[in-house]
Amino acid sequence: MAALVMDSNGIYLDGTFGRGGHSRAILSRLGAAGRLLAVDRDPDAVAAARALAAEDPRFSIHPGRFGTIGEIVAAAGLDGRPLSGILLDLGVSSPQLDAAQRGFSFGAEGPLDMRMDPHSGESAAQWLARADEADIAAILYELGEERFGKRIARAIVAARTAEPITSTTQLAEIVARAVPTREPGKHPATRTFQALRIHLNDELADIRSCLDQVCDLLTVAGRLVVISFHSLEDRIVKRFIRDEAQGPVLPKGLPVRATAVQGRLRALGKPVRPTPSEVAANPRARSAIMRVAERLS
């Protein structure tokens, strides 16, 4: 909040409402003229956000993906006013993990779904039932950084010939039997579930699409704050801020004004990670990393 809210009367966007923890914190720092737009594609999150919108006229919820924030802002009736800040809290939310029926977690028996929006796209069970072994292995390696991806993919294909893979615990057991060694403190299926979730929800493409639009939406001195929980997410954010800070790459010796090569963003401070006390209070924060950037003129 200290990094994000610089203007109490500004317009802010919470790109991932979840259950509104960040949104309520932002609203507590805004004045009467301030405004907050929130985005989420999860129907349960949208329902929770509508309850908040009924309580606070400064707040509005816009169902959809944050990769379309340009369209969302354009349709929000801001009369061309830019945003003072954009917050992205990436990845799955705790309510999604805790609801067994959503299929995000192997901690409890549930249908193998994993979709942020259960009414759109393929479920994990549907995709695993038809995907080629090589495609499964590639997804596990590229999006889960799972070194046993080929072994796990082979086990999944063998298991589905006997019976459909339809539950979270069923998949977790298949993965556990296929993985020869375990990472300390991690369930052997952690990377597999993470990779499938990212793939099914096209999360990395959504991040790239959103970041491509933020500089056009932010006012001068407006803030971009991104909290990542996965190395692939953070790598995208880190490179985006670096490239936007560097500015356009032009041939050496080209006679141009300094303003023509100035970057559109500058990184503020070092990446922020949770303290040991924060991790002790909330173990799910252990892999979080926050990056902050400011819009330049």
Q: Say if residue 89 carries a ligand binding annotation.
A: yes
Q: How many CB atoms lie within 10 A of CB 235?
A: 12
Q: Say if residue 187 carries a ligand binding annotation.
A: no
Q: Say if residue 66 carries a ligand binding annotation.
A: yes
Asked if residues 113 and 123 have their Cβ atoms less than 8 Å apart, the reply is yes
Give me 59's structure tokens.
């707040």
Asked if residues 10 and 83 have their Cβ atoms less than 8 Å apart, the reply is yes
DSSP state of 284: G
CA 92 to chain centre: 7
Q: Say if residue 42 carries a ligand binding annotation.
A: no
Q: Edge-to-edge strands of the sheet including 218-228?
A: 59-63, 35-40, 11-14, 83-89, 218-228, 289-295, 265-267
Q: Say if residue 21 carries a ligand binding annotation.
A: yes
Q: How far is 171 from 167, CA to CA, in rounded Å?
A: 7
Q: How far is 214 from 150, CA to CA, in rounded Å?
A: 38
Q: What is the dihedral of CA 52, 53, 54, 55, to 10 degrees?
A: 60
Q: How many CB atoms lie within 10 A of CB 241?
A: 22
Binding-site residue ranges:
20-22, 40, 66, 89, 96
Binding-site residue ranges for S-adenosyl-L-methionine:
20-22, 40, 66, 89, 96
